[in-house]
Every structure is written in structure tokens, then in C-alpha cells.
Structure 1
Amino acid sequence: MSAAPAQGIDRRGLAVTAGTFVLWGVVPVYWHLLKTVPALQIMAHRVIWSALLVVGWLLLRHGGQWLRLIAAQPRALAALALSGVLIAFNWGLYIWAVNAGHVVETSLGYFINPLVNVVLGVLVLHERLRRLQWIAVSCAAAGVAWLTWSAGSPPWIALGLAGSFGLYGLVRKLVAVDPVAGLGLESLYLLLPSLAYVLWAEAGHGGGFSGQWSLGIDLLLVFGGVVTAVPLIGFAYGVRRIPLSVVGLLQYIAPTLQLLLGVWFFREPFDATRALGFGAIWLGLALYAGEGVWRSRRKAPVA
């Protein structure tokens, strides 16, 4: 019997997923355009306008069925409240870091995030690592230790971003909810506090829509909902159509672009000492990704 042809990759899913990571990679430029706005206000507007888009999209596609399905799972309701807090912290820290001149460190956070996921899998889900995976995690830990020693303090921004997004992914993994529907409920949880804060700011406490900033800034705040929602919906679409091993490789597009922007566009320092720490982390990522691709190919079905 002849060997069966290898299963092709959905080109549209591949293009959408890659485009999603490219958008996430260049988004620091967008938030930088809003640097005159306090990070907490940007965060609140981001929640409000993305909530309107995501929930509106869900209602158009599924009516109220998506919410009824989640409401039938009390455990999911509580878990999504927690994941909403985690993603809000992640978004807020990221926006603040970009506009405070720490784009390079934000890229570090998303470089080490996959390996943080591995550690959480071991500690919480009791997953077992293979030898090469342990070596990969050790390389990343050595890189973080080197950056901590050379700077005199841990890279708190990177660790905060990686930790919050890793915990977010863990919570979402433990809840059997459609990704976009889960985002919709998270958005609803965050909507009222964000709306209350924006209304308070507009009532004479530095709000931008009352005329403190230009019309262009106001439009950028509103469009921030699109910048938030569209890549998330695109990711949910693409990740279901291509192998996870391919997603694992594509995810490094975003932090790579962020690093390049931090060095070449925002002119942040990136000396040999910092490069050495990043290099150890990149080595760990290369070992981890390479081991995953090798194993996926070994397990590929043949006739």
C-alpha cells in the first residue's frame, strides 16, 4: 500500500494566524500614539469598545445562545471572571510599559511566555517534561537570572506579562468554553467597572472626551477596540484550522517584531549584556520548539 499524502495546511488559517501575530507585533506603535493619555484610561476604553465589538459579533452570529451555554456552567462563570481580571492586568501592564519606554522588556515577556506555560503545566496540571524540554526551560531560567543579575533587579515587567498571560491561558484551558464566547463574557465582566471609571474621568477628572485631547486621540481610543478584538477573533479562527505545532512557531513573530521596534523605532538600549540574556532564552525556545516539531513529525500517521 502506498503512503498517504501528508495532510496539507489550511492556507487561509495559516494566513489569518500569521497576520494576527504580525498585528500583535506592531501594536506598540498604536499605543505609543496615545502616550498623552493615562494608561488606565487607555485600558478602560480598550475594554469598553472591544466589548461592544465582541459581544455584538457574538449576538449577530449566535443570538443569546452563546451566553446561555456558559451560564449553564457555574464553574465557567467563576473561572471567566478570574481570567477577565488576569487579561485586564496583562493589557494594562503592557500599555503602561510601552508608553513608559519598556518595549524591549515587553518582548522579553512574550518570548518567555511559552516556557512559563510549560512550568505551569508541570506545577498545576502535573504534566511530565522530556529531557530536552527540561534543558530548554533551564536555558530560559539562566537567561532571566543573567538579566536579573546584570540589571540589579528582576525584569518585573516581562515576568508580570508572562505570568499573567500564562495564568490566563491556564484558566482558559481548564474551562470548556468557545474562545470568542469566553472573551465575550470576560468583556462583560470588565465592562461596568471600565465604564464607571471612564464616566468618572469625564466628570472633570482628566477624561479625554470632554475636550482635553484632540479628535484624533478620541478616535484612536475608540478604534482601540478594533485593534483589540479583531486579532483575538482572527486567532480563534486560525488556531482551529492549522496544527498547534505551527501555531507554536508562529507565536514568536509578535515578540520578534516588538523587539525590533523597541531597538530600531523606539531607540531603547540593547547592549551585549542584555543580548546575552536574550540569547539564552532564545536558545531555550529553539530547543523547545524544535523538539515539538520533531515529535509531531514522528507521530505523523503513515499508511
Structure 2
Amino acid sequence: MTDTQPSPDQSETRKGVIAALFTYGLWGVLPLLFHALEPAGAVLIVAERTVWSLVLLALVIALSRNAKDVVAVLSDWRRMRVIALSAILLVGNWLLYVWAIATGQVLEASFGYFINPLVNVAIGMVVLGERQNRLQSIAIAIACVAILIQAVGVGNIPFVALGLALTFGSYGLIRKTAQTGPVTGLFVETLLAAPFALAYVAHDVATNGVGVHADPTLLLLLILTGPATAVPLLLFGFAVRRLRLTTIGMFQYISPSIQFLLAITLFGEELTPVRLFSFALIWLALILFSFNSFRQHRRLRV
């Protein structure tokens, strides 16, 4: 009788693929949640997102018995300085992203996350002195041309796209030096931002009254910003332990692709020929970049 059961490695890989699909799928549909919360305003949304994320992450820390790791980080001033900077970048990225959705710039936000992998490479070149091969250099050059064309298409520099890519790319770079696990690191970052978030919520209520909190639907959606933030990150941590980085790299294009489709279908944003051409160039750059990563991985396996 032939054994048709998958091997343990295959089973774990399958679980990683499912987790990655859910991760990037959830990130892709986030604009739907933030668009529904538009009456709350970008700053209040991010403040509530921070508070409810902290609540959920605290529960995860308690259930996983990682409190000792949190205490170790909080007592290490060197790591705390690094995490404080990463928290600023993370909250800045959240603010810019939510504001972009609220102001009808989902298309440009998706452009920002499309160029993010290439920005990561550029940051590595500038900050870490990493050397890139010819294909990587060509991909970065094509991305730069795409950004210039995007600037011509919208009549100004795509600050939202560049801001999202630079803040998230810098966040990733800094987190690498923090020497903390993904859950512990995110919890401490959120813990540092929480007092400011709570202060803003209190100020908003004191100034404007209960406001959006009086609407049960909006209040529920505000609470859901916590799971919508923490769950994909937890799934990402699960997936990255079971999949190769090159595989994860292929999945990261799912989110901006979904955002791109939402922008031109559901949100009715205009995709002019110039902007479409700039996206086409970015897709070409990403194909070259992905092919190069795949080729390097195969060489390492030989």
C-alpha cells in the first residue's frame, strides 16, 4: 500500500503557504476597513488601532508565556532605544497609510508597497554598503524611472508612495538590529506608543464628545483594527518560520495587487495611461528582482 500522507516537512510548508496567503490577503483588504472608518479621521483611527492592538498582543504574550522576554527587553536600554525608533517609524507608516486611504490615494499607496522591496535593496546599499549585482541595479534604475513617470502623471512627487516605502523599509532595517522576537518586539513598540494613543483618544472625547464611539458599528470597526493589525503579523511570523525567504518574497506582492484592484474598481480612482505605464515599469522591475532572487537561491542550493 502506498503511503499518501505528506511528510512532516511538506505539511509544515503547506501550513506556511496558507498562513502567508492569509497574511498578505488580510493586508490587501485593510483599505476596506479604514475606508469604512473614514468619519473617525486618520489620527483617531491610528490611536485606536494602537490601543486595541496592545490589548490583543498582551493576551498573546500572556498565553504564550513570553512575559520574561518582554521584561528582558524593557530592562535593556540599548534595545529600548532601537525599539523606540522603530515604534516612531511604525506609527508614522500607519498614519500615512490610513490618511492615504481616507483621502482617496489607495492607488498611490499600492504603488508604495510595490516599490518597497526595491527600496529595501536601496537602503541596504546606502546604509549597509551592500553591493548589488547587475540585475538588481537594473531593477532599481527601472523603479526610479517609474517614480519619475508617476510624478509626471500626478503632477507632483508621489510623496505617499515614497513615504510608505521609506518608513516601512527603514522600520525593517531597524528591527533587524533590535534582537527581539516579532511578537515581543511589536508588543513593546505598541506599549511605547500606547500612552500617546490613549492621550489622543481622551483629548478627542473631551473636545468632541463621544463622537464616533456612540455609533455601535463604528465602535466595533475601531475595535477590529486591533485584530486587523496583530493577526496578520502573527500569521507572518508563523509563515516565515516555515517558508524560504524567496518564497515569502513572492507572496509580498499579493497585498499591493489587491489594493491596486480595490482602488480602480471599488474606490473609483482614475488609472491614467501615464500611471498605468509607471505601474508596468514597477512590475517589470519586480520581475527582474524576483528572478534574480530565485536564481541566487538556486545557486546556493547547488
Give TM-score scaled by structure 2 length: 0.94
> Is 1:221 aligned with 2:222?
yes
Aligned residue number for residue 36 of structure 2: 33
3-state SS, counterpart of residue 10 of structure 1: helix
Select 1:127's aligned residue among 126, 130, 139.
Answer: 130
- One-letter amino acid of the counterpart of residue 97, structure 1: A
Aligned residue number for residue 89 of structure 2: 86
3-state SS, counterpart of residue 36 of structure 1: helix
C-alpha distance 126-166 of structure 1, shift in aligned 2 (>3 A)? same
- One-letter amino acid of the counterpart of residue 239, structure 1: V
> Is 1:95 aligned with 2:98?
yes
Provide the C-alpha distance between the structure 1 equivalents of 2:74 and 2:267, rounded to a whole number of angstroms.
45
Aligned residue number for residue 17 of structure 1: 20
**TM-fit CA distance, 1:133:** 0.4
Q: CA RMSD in A?
A: 1.5
**TM-fit CA distance, 1:72:** 4.7
> Which moved further from structure 2: 148-157 or 74-83?
148-157
Q: Deviations over 1:201-249 (max 9, x none)?
A: 11133543653xx111011101111111111111111111100000000
Higher share in helix: 2
Provide the C-alpha distance between the structure 2 equivalents of 1:121 and 1:63, rounded to a whole number of angstroms.
31
Correspondence list, 1:1-303, <5 A: 8=10, 10-205=13-208, 207-208=210-211, 211=214, 214-301=215-302
Give TM-score scaled by structure 1 length: 0.93
Q: Deviations over 1:228-271 (max 9, x none)?
A: 11111111111111000000000000000000000011110002
Provide the C-alpha distance between the structure 2 equivalents of 1:63 and 1:158, rounded to a whole number of angstroms.
36
Alpha-carbon contact 1:110-1:162 (below 8 Å) kept: yes
- One-letter amino acid of the counterpart of residue 199, structure 1: A
**TM-fit CA distance, 1:71:** 3.1
- One-letter amino acid of the counterpart of residue 155, structure 2: G
Runs of 5+ consecutive residues of structure 2 not aligned to the other structure? 1-6
Alpha-carbon contact 1:58-1:66 (below 8 Å) kept: no
Residue correspondences, number: 294
Runs of 5+ consecutive residues of structure 1 not aligned to the other structure? none
Alpha-carbon contact 2:39-2:212 (below 8 Å) kept: no
Provide the C-alpha distance between the structure 2 equivalents of 1:284 and 1:209, rounded to a whole number of angstroms.
43
**TM-fit CA distance, 1:175:** 1.9
Provide the C-alpha distance between the structure 1 equivalents of 2:221 and 2:153, rounded to a whole number of angstroms.
38
**TM-fit CA distance, 1:109:** 0.5
Provide the C-alpha distance between the structure 2 equivalents of 1:188 and 1:75, rounded to a whole number of angstroms.
17
Q: Deviations over 1:157-180 (max 9, x none)?
A: 101100110110010012211011
Provide the C-alpha distance between the structure 2 equivalents of 1:222 and 1:99, rounded to a whole number of angstroms.
18
Alpha-carbon contact 2:19-2:239 (below 8 Å) kept: yes
